[in-house]
Structure 1
Amino acid sequence: MSSREFNQDVGKAKRVTGKDPVFITDRGTPAHVLLTVDEYYRLTEAAESVADMLAMPESAEIEFNPIRSKTITLREVDLS
């Protein structure tokens, strides 16, 4: 829907958003999207982050004492 069409019939644009988002163009280029508030909330609802999904709060009680390798030697690194 062009900006001109939108300005002339806002009611039509609102009716169409009940089915699909309405893309409002400016000189043929999409400039805005009109959608229902329910769809907006669905799109912007906070999703669980990868860090949250990988977090293991119950593992805080696990004791972890790895054995140090005696075969690995450290060496100088030239970072110049």
Structure 2
Amino acid sequence: MTITTLTSREFNQDTSRAKKAANEGPVIITDRGRPAHVLLSIEEYRRITGTGRSLLEALAQTEEESDFEFDPPKMGGSWLKPADLE
């Protein structure tokens, strides 16, 4: 893991560099020489916080991004009964 340090000015002038660096490890952004913020990739953030992907994100993924298969069971069985409306 590579830790990158950028000044606020460097971050503002080259955001794409900061985003690329965040894929390799945390990016510390300094303000007047002191660490003020940390930029992380979303994967690293989720790993640290223990949060997974939201249902919306899982459903929105493309087939190439899929890391799991979901094959729901067919509805049926003896528990399905017509409603008694009388």
Partner of 2:46: 41
Instruction: Name which of 19, 32, 55 aligns with 1:27.
Output: 32
Give the distance between the partners of 1:17 and 1:37, measured in 2 at CA: 9
User: For 1:20, what is the secondary structure of its paired residue?
Assistant: coil
Give the distance between the partners of 1:31 and 1:40, measured in 2 at CA: 17
Instruction: Name which of 2, 12, 17 aligns with 2:7.
Output: 2
Aligned residues: 46
Two-structure CA RMSD over aligned residues (Å): 1.0
Instruction: Tell me the TM-score normalized by structure 2.
Output: 0.52
User: For 1:24, what is the secondary structure of its paired residue?
Assistant: strand
Percent of aligned pairs with the same amino acid: 57
Greater C-alpha radius of gyration: 1
How do residues 50-65 of structure 1 correspond to structure 2 at under 5 angstroms?
Answer: none
Q: Which amino acid aligns with 2:40?
A: L
Instruction: Tell me the TM-score normalized by structure 1.
Output: 0.56
Gaps of 5+ in 1: 47-80
The structure that is helix-richer by fraction is: 1
